[in-house]
Structure 1
Amino acid sequence: MIIESIKSAFKKHFNRVPIIVRSPGKINLIGEYTDGYVLPAAIDIVTYVAVSRRSDDDIHLYSESYSEAFQGKLSDLNKTEKDWINYILGIADQLQKWGYHIGGFNLYIDGDVPFDDELSSSAAVECATAYALIELFSLSVPKLDVAKIAQMAEKGFKGGNGSIIDQFTSVFGKKGNAILLDCKNLCHEHIPLKLDGYQLVLLNANLEDSTSTIRLDRAKEQCEQGLLWIKSNVTQVVSLQDTSLKMLDKYVKGKDVEIYKKCKFIVEENQRVLLAAEHLKNANLKGFGQVMFQTHDGLSELYQVSCNELDFLVNTVKKIPYVLGARMMGEGFDGCILNIVKEERIDDFIEELTQVFEDEFSKKLDAYVVEIENGTALIL
């Protein structure tokens, strides 16, 4: 059992009995790049963090995944060349900046959220570390503040620049539910995800695209420009979430077609998230799947962040009658598509897609069948 293994490893490295916390990775069911409405969910691919107090100011870390150790001092926190270390040190740094008192600690980390695939691995590490240190030092920190502290740890110490979606999902995830989240004000609602004989299957194409960051940054810049054109005419608009296709047609389309396409995707994606949430509330999984297909088409044709391999996979899936929906996933799991597959046909699905993908591209697919799980929690 993983918990017994962690306890044993912790005793071996630190000769102490630890507190253990688990924190999930996340998927975004729908709602990419919107900075508005999104529909993420916590999954059963998790990170475990075990901690114990020290009598000094030292921080001693060990990662099972990397077989690496680190030692530093709480009073002298500095960035390192290792991301997994920075995630942890960033939390210690932020807790102190928020006015919470912590001491030296031992920390052991293990789990199955893949660092190389970035299935919100940083958020899982950050939230697990935050929860563990909060419990260890008997701190009283509101759940929303935990997510904000974790986000600030990534922005300020590690150097990331992402939204709060990953950390929010890791903290507020609920078994069997997606989260309808408005990123603008962090209002949220848990939406039951009743799969009723279907399962969520991730297919990872293991792609490496050196231009993806450049393309994403360019798309965001184009959206910002389109928003500026609208705001100069409609003063009450704050974000593209507040706009409409009519506004885009009037203030953007005639100025730049490419900017119009990027903005059009964002406006339509915000609308699709709300529609998808309604489908889930009505247990209309087929309707939800169709919205997923529409999102992929928008990501490919309008936002232009897909690629030949992912388009090939989704177009192949569209022809399979026992799959209700599929789309590429954006930030969080590069080179991956999310699918809703009939439970008894999952093995057939994985075998078929693996074979056709290898025949077409001479590349292997990795498959993950995931469950929607609870957010970060103390387990021992």
Structure 2
Amino acid sequence: MTWLVVGTPGDRRPALFAAACRSSGLPEPVLVAWADVLRGAPVPAGPGDLVRVDSPGEDAEADALLRGPGDPARVGGGAAWYRAFTVALGRIDASVTRAGARLLGDVTEIGVMFDKRLSHARLLAAGVPVPVALPSVDGYAGLRARMEESGERRVFVKPAHGSSASGVIALQTAPGGRVRAVTSASMTPDGPVNSLRVRVYETEAEVAALVDALAPDGLHVERWLPKAAMDGRVFDLRVVVIGGVPTHAVVRTSRHPMTNLHLGGARGDLDAVRSALGEDGWHRALDVCARAAACFPGSLMVGVDLLVCIGMKRFAVGEVNAFGDLLPGLTGLAGGPAEGLDTYTAQVRAALMENPPHVPQDRTRAVTACAT
């Protein structure tokens, strides 16, 4: 049995997955570059092999193949990126199927998770709590009209195919035309770029220009659910669900509406959050995450961003992530199946339980197919 991971050379994800394979007694994984796959190269799998699809990562070559040439930091181009990405996923699936190998993640489900509108609709249909979405927003004028119709004064505006909070806008409005938009997007003469620094816009002209620049690629707009706070910082949870079971959780805290760790957020005290929620609240939180992941039964791992609302009595799923396991140094929840294991090792062990090797280890080579 060979393992394959489609990924980006030099990215941390393949390296961490390789370490997980070694610690589990498997040989070094073989990396299949996303850039090669995007150019049409088949995944070199054989009968009985396992194939992992990972994030395309921050690779300029792969980015240009996905959404065309340009500044890799630009926010636009998400629709083109998504089309090329899903086409490539389809080719990977066909190649793996022809070879008699098996994917560790269903490519159709990955595609749904990379469209916030589709994933929100799937979760809603399954009864998973999610923020109310505003329909048919195609620009700033339409956004304000939908907000007026629904009585919403605070919303999150998200690029339909974005990730890592790129282009996300936390928007507040007030009588008299006052607006306040918090975002990591910075407007330039060539359009918005992801500055990796949270900034604030307080003129309607600036906010309108930003929303209208993002709108052609598709928008998903949700009611802004105020997050709970501890020690003066709002927080949410990233919960990793492996094999249907919540195995890892990290508290993400911030002084801004976006809690992403790469935008200045910081890991919080999970024990303190559990204590504040109480055991019943904690188990209800994990149950929501498990229910969200159950909407994607073909995915070995689902990363769930869980919003903990003010009062710590209500929860909602903000997003689901096909590649939400990059949490270095985080080990599994005490008493759970991944206790003491990082997210990658836990996935390797779970996959081996479902797919025990049928050949001696010295004849097994792990091949990692990571989407970069």
TM-score by length of 1: 0.28
TM-score, normalization by structure 2:
0.29
Q: Pick the structure with more helix per residue.
A: 1
